[in-house]
Amino acid sequence: MKSRVILAMDKPLSYQILKEMENELYGIKIGLPLVLDLGVHKTRELLNDLNVEEIIVDFKLADIGFIMKSIVEKLSFASSFIAHSFIGVKGALDELKKYLDANSKNLYLVAVMSHEGWSTLFTDYIKNVIREISPKGIVVGGTKLDSITEYRKDFGKMTIISPGMGSQGASYGDAVCAGADYEIIGRSIYNAENPFAALRTINKIIEDKVMN
């Protein structure tokens, strides 16, 4: 496996740095702060020919189907999109999933957020939505290792991607060891003095933990 890391790009990095990192990344997740900074056109230019498995748009879509589809349409250079699951199926996620399938794009649903205040009151509801929509993957906070194990057990081979590593307090490699497929890492890489060196160090830490 090339890498277990998805770079959370919430701030621009230069094309040279991204080119240097592409072989050590599984994917790149782009956030609203980045797209608001650069605009759609420049974001597309920056990412267009990078050799990573997935470019994931993380706007945490949570709207009616029609609006979510129009957002996706404007970001057609990306391969994957993250939406909230709490919005429910009919008229929202069913339409988005159908549209993404028709355009060979992937859907990830937020299952468990990484911050302290995320409520588990809706867990059963969220799991039912995930079952009904059957996305490529789900987002489960890396700060909640028990949740990763629980969702891995409940959702078999569904891809689990986990934010919260490093800057939010979770230790690199712990999410993967608990059952996640990839760890989403932002500030610890893009704010580092040498982002490429930071990525290499993180990759090594994860690899070593997985091996032991």
CB of 110 to ligand 3DU, least distance (A): 6
Shortest gap between Cβ of 102 and ligand 3DU (angstroms)?
A: 26
Choosing from 2, 60, 127, 209, the catalytic residue is 60
Closest approach of Cβ 189 to ligand 3DU, in Å?
A: 8
**153, exposed or middle or buried, with CB in 10 Å at 0-12, 13-18, 19+?**
exposed
Rank residues 101 and 186 by Cβ distance to ligand 3DU and give the closer one. 186
Residue nearer to ligand 3DU on the CB measure, 98 or 187? 187
The closest residue (CB) to ligand 3DU is 186
Tell me whether residue 68 or residue 139 sits nearer to ligand 3DU (CB atom). 139
Q: Which is nearer to ligand 3DU, 85 or 100 (CB)?
A: 85
At its nearest, how many Å lie between ligand 3DU and the CB of residue 202? Answer: 11
Query: Is 60 annotated as catalytic?
Result: yes
- Residues of the shown chain interacting with ligand 3DU in the complex, contacts defined by CB under 6 A: 8, 10, 31, 58, 113-114, 139, 141, 163-164, 166-168, 184-188
Task: List residues with catalytic annotation.
Answer: 60
